[in-house]
Amino acid sequence: MTDDGHHRPDAVVPAAGQQLLAERFARGQVTDLRHALAACAEAAGLRDQRLDDFVLAVNELITNAVRHGGGAGVLRLWRAGGTLVCEVSDGGAGIGAERLANHERPAPDVAGGWGLWLAGQLSDSMQVATGPAGTTVRISTMLNGVHGRLADADTAGAVERVE
């Protein structure tokens, strides 16, 4: 608990997971971090379009942390069995409930609102823990198999709000 009585989302790598990358980042480090993430994800076994999709999803989360979450954040990447998991945390003011409840694709002419939507579409699962002390978004993708989100319209865009 923080002094304001709100829970700060924790970023915890499961003990059973194999940590591949853990980095603090700020605005000027986004490109280098994206390249490091891509190399680690590929070394873990992610390939081709699934690799590109996962890297793009994480890039959107990193960009959101820089733009909307206080200008900096922490990225953690690990492998848990046949799943690659990435978590991006920031110290911003949180994401509003209305924003998280909207699972619609943003209008093509809208400049914002694409980051979380894309991250959800390009990963197999996504969870969001948010509050006034920050936001943590965890996405995952299976290393082998069909891409879950884009292939399954019933789950596309699903976001879980955890407080």
Q: What is the mean pLDDT of residues 138-152?
A: 69
pLDDT at 116 over 90: yes
Task: Give the pLDDT score at 147.
Answer: 52
User: How sure is the predictor about 32, in pLDDT bands with cuts at 50, 70 and 90?
Assistant: very high
- Residues 90 and 135: beta-carbon distance below 8 Å: yes
Closest CA relative to residue 85, chosen from 138, 44, 46, 133: 138
Around 133, how many Cα atoms within 13 Å sit in the side-chain half-sphere?
11
Can you tell me the distance from the alpha carbon of 112 to that of 92, in angstroms, rounded to the nearest whole number? 17
* pLDDT tens track for 69-105: 999 999 999 999 999 999 999 999 999 998 888 889 9
18-162 classified as CATH 3.20.10.10? no
Alpha helix stretches (DSSP H) within the chain:
30-43, 48-68, 97-101, 114-121, 148-151
Which range, of 2-6, 60-64, 73-77, 106-110, averages the lowest pLDDT? 2-6
3-state secondary structure of 3: coil
Structure-token pair, residue 155: 């789950």
Can you tell me the distance from the alpha carbon of 36 to that of 17, in angstroms, rounded to the nearest whole number? 19
- Residues 162 and 36: beta-carbon distance below 8 Å: no
Q: What is the mean pLDDT of residues 23-35?
A: 96
Which are the contacts of 3, defined by CB distance < 8 A and separation ≥ 6?
A: none
